[in-house]
Amino acid sequence: MRKKNIGLTLMASLVFAFLIIPLFIVVVTAFGESASIQFPIKGFSLQWFGEVFKTKSFIRGMKTSLLISIWATVASIIVGVPAAYALARGTVKRKAFLKNVFLSPTFVPGIVIGFALFQFLTIKLQMKIITSLFMGHFLISLPYIIRVVGSSLEQFDFSVEEAAWTLGCTKSKSFIKIVLPNISSGIFASFMLAFINSFNNIPVSMFLSGPGVQTLPIALMNHIEYNYDPTVSAMSVMLMLCTILLMWVIEKTLGLATIA
């Protein structure tokens, strides 16, 4: 048993090192003086963080990613919360089948979803690029809402809602005044998770982006194809910090929900 534990610890250490070392290199190269990505760096400089805000493709990509991610996540909240509630209450037929349909974007490879949406939305329906991006990001955001809000609803005591019904409260009012406040932490956490997934998405965005309308990850990919400079490292560091901050907020939110 002890040898087994040592083996698992060693394996975990190797996996951790395999993940951390590349991230460490990215962080270090963001502070180099050289005009190309070099490790180890020669000299220390913050100029590449300034270059991030001077690169027009990054600024346009940031604006597009924020716009698409916010609207797609808001739409997925509007659709996903009532859907998760109906599934949790068991008020719909073929509950298991419908749940699998909502969660299906997490089962299908992202590149397959992106190509399928490109064929249908862009080629067949000839939608505008921004509309296609919104539809695609809504599709990949919805499962996070269904899953996280559904987990919150599993911990909710529906007898409280039913008591409100017997006292004359309508189902819609009881849902708004009783159910929603009790799962607000789960809704917020699902919003943040869906937003992070949407903002950082590459497979779907790669197929649905187009000339003049690109998300930030696609802008980064296009930039590094022609400009192998530390600007990409600086942008990556900024994205990592933002993601860590958002995940910390989610963890604290879910922790408070569990305590409550």
pLDDT at 73: 93
Q: Give pLDDT tens digits for 175-222.
A: 888 888 888 888 888 888 899 889 888 888 989 888 878 888 888 888
State yes or no: pLDDT of 77 exceeds 50: yes
pLDDT tier at 255, thresholds 50, 70, 90 = low
Does residue 213 sit in helix, strand or coil?
strand
What is d(CA 41, CA 173) in angstroms, rounded to the nearest whole number? 61
pLDDT at residue 254 in the model: 59
CA distance 259 to 247: 18
In terms of DSSP H, where are the helices of 118-230? 129-154, 158-166, 171-174, 180-182, 184-199, 203-208, 216-226
Q: How confident is the model at residue 137 (pLDDT cuts 50, 70, 90)?
A: very high
Asked if 146 and 181 touch (Cβ cutoff 8 Å), the reply is: no
How many angstroms separate the CA atoms of 245 and 89, rounded?
34
CA distance 191 to 195: 6
In which element (H, E) is residue 20 found? helix 2-29
pLDDT tens-digit readout, 16-32:
677 777 777 777 787 87
Residue 71 banded pLDDT, cuts 50, 70, 90: very high
Of 88, 188, 68, 90, the residue nearest 139 (C-alpha):
68
